[in-house]
Amino acid sequence: MVRKPIADDAQFAARAADVLKAIAHPVRLRIVDVLAREPTHVTALAERLDVKQPIVSQQLRILRAQGLVESRRTNGLMVNELAEPELRQLLACMRNCVCGRDR
């Protein structure tokens, strides 16, 4: 499939901007990075990130609202996982962009 350049597709640009806005928060970005490695429940995320659980829950709600994260019940716990595996590539690109600036 041939895709139009982003400059020529306003609808795509708007959706892409929504995705970027959804992860453009330090805690949400860190949550996405953890979930890119493995599905995790909110308490483990809070401990791993050293952020209060209600804050992690609030940030997860934003990510779910954008369709970037899904939650499912496993063994009595709500486990969160990436709904968009392509976010792994976006994270890698961001790492490269930021690390390139640190040189």
pTM comes to 0.88
Q: How many residues does the chain have?
A: 103
| Higher pLDDT among residues 101 and 31, named by residue | 31
Residue 39's pLDDT band, with cuts at 50, 70 and 90, is very high
pLDDT of residue 98: 86
Asked if 71 and 80 count as a contact pair (C-beta separation under 8 A), the reply is yes
| Higher pLDDT among residues 61 and 7, named by residue | 61
Distance (Å, whole) CA 103 – CA 93: 16
* Predicted confidence (pLDDT) per residue in 74-102, tens digit: 888 899 999 988 999 999 998 888 887 65
Q: Is the pLDDT of residue 68 over 80?
A: yes
Distance (Å, whole) CA 36 – CA 34: 5
Q: Does domain 26-101 have CATH number 1.10.10.10?
A: yes
